[in-house]
Structure 1
Amino acid sequence: MVLIEHKPNTQELLNLPYVELSFGVIGETLPADHGYGLYSAIAHLCPQVHEQEGLSILTIAGIPDRKGKIVLTERSHLRIRLPYDCMPMVYHLAGKQLSIGSHSIRLAIPQIFMLRPGSRLRARIVTIKNHQETESFLEAARGQLAALGVVGDAIVPLDMEGNPTRKTIKIKTYSVVGFGLEVSGLSEEDSIKLQISGLGGKHRMGCGVFVPMKEL
């Protein structure tokens, strides 16, 4: 008898209970653009993340030094979002050291949180293949929201100079272009749905992953 591995589709993933593991980070600095390096370091210790559907890894926050690095603080955390049943797969990262280029960090025992809804969500960067201009990107992002059945107002926020927040992420030897994205006017159900599914690609490298914004 031949066994066929079943990969859950988007609707099946949305029906699963999701959690977010938040690991405290012990270290000094990281590259400002560390999404790919962080994913690679985690996958080295936990190869299953390559195949796990519905897993997202958020990049680690820190204080920019304006020289291509961030300085880590006591508020710096590694956050991994995944179905509850898959939690043991990454929990064992506690206490492990991750090497990211010439930098190294050690992970503390994680706290575990359920996803919480918010009417306004933001993603630091969303990448959508073949959509590298603001208008085209925004149209594609709105199309993906509609395909998910999510009702909300999507905008690309502006930077300090009034320009759309265009960003890049480096993967090996090439760069991928994306934009910051905010979605407001969400119901509780749609907010959780968007946090689970995300938008665009490269969710394991910190792209397309949404978090609640402070309410106005």
Structure 2
Amino acid sequence: MFWEEDEDETIKRPEDIVDLAFSLVATQIPVEHAYLLSQAVERVLPWLTDETGCGLHQIHGAESGNGWQRPDDGGAMYISKRTKLVLRLPNERVEDAGVLTGQKLDLDGYTLEVGKANVRLLNPVSTIYARYIITDGDESEEQFLEFVSEQLQEIGIRCKKMMCGRTHTIRVPGRELQARSLMLADISKEDSLQLQKLGLGRGRNIGCGLFIPHKGIQRI
């Protein structure tokens, strides 16, 4: 019998780039809130957009997996008490970002009160997911995945298992951006952390290009 176990890929979770998760007090926010949230946060943290390593996750408080359904577009969505406002930041900016606590952010008439924050270290899992990767808009799934593969190779990452979702529209003043969700599976822990730190593509200030852990598809 020949039996070879997977190598132990134990790796220290990094502290140079972290997620800072703020509690929230609100019941509803606009479904199309990416730009509104970005502008509201940047009024308090004007350095957020231009600083390397920074990003702002969109708020997803009404997930179908939790018994809620997030509307596709327009109107407002409900958020739960467990919903967080999450910023991806260099560790040295955590203290600076703490001034968000106690702020009341106006999102087109909906008030978002920001509470206390907790630091979350990035998790080196083998399956990661980005809700929004900005595309050219008229790409097929195959063209999009080929583009992603080329972008990954440029930063030294090779991924054999990728899956993308349907196109989603993100509205900003004067234009509409097209984005797709993207899941990468069976990547190394080092590559997982690198992608979570670097992101992929543009629009990190409106929640694009940011990777998070995903449960993935288990092997049978």
Following the alignment from structure 1 to structure 2, what is the Cα–Cα distance between the partners of residues 100 and 37? Answer: 6
The offset of 1:136, in angstroms, is 2.2
Identity %: 26
Structure showing greater Rg: 2
Provide closer, same or farther for how the CA distance between residues 131 and 189 of structure 1 changes in structure 2, counting only shifts above 3 A.
farther
Following the alignment from structure 1 to structure 2, what is the Cα–Cα distance between the partners of residues 154 and 92? Answer: 40
Q: Give the alignment of 1:47-196 within 5 angstroms.
A: 47-63=46-62, 64-65=70-71, 68-129=75-136, 132-157=139-164, 164-196=165-197
The Cα offsets for residues 112-158 of structure 1, whole Å up to 9 and x where unpaired, read as 1111111001111100457643222221111111111122235334x
Provide closer, same or farther for how the CA distance between residues 35 and 132 of structure 1 changes in structure 2, counting only shifts above 3 A.
farther
Following the alignment from structure 1 to structure 2, what is the Cα–Cα distance between the partners of residues 156 and 171? Answer: 26
The Cα offsets for residues 58-87 of structure 1, whole Å up to 9 and x where unpaired, read as 111122256532101022111101111121
The Cα offsets for residues 157-184 of structure 1, whole Å up to 9 and x where unpaired, read as 4xxxxxx411111111311011110101
2:200 aligns with 199
Q: CA RMSD in A?
A: 1.9
The offset of 1:96, in angstroms, is 0.7
AA paired with 1:197?
L
Following the alignment from structure 1 to structure 2, what is the Cα–Cα distance between the partners of residues 145 and 16? Answer: 23
TM-score with structure 1 setting the length: 0.84
Count of matched residue pairs: 196
Following the alignment from structure 2 to structure 1, what is the Cα–Cα distance between the partners of residues 209 and 71? Answer: 25
1:39 aligns with 38
User: Which secondary structure state, in structure 1, belongs to the residue aligned with residue 47 of structure 2?
Assistant: helix
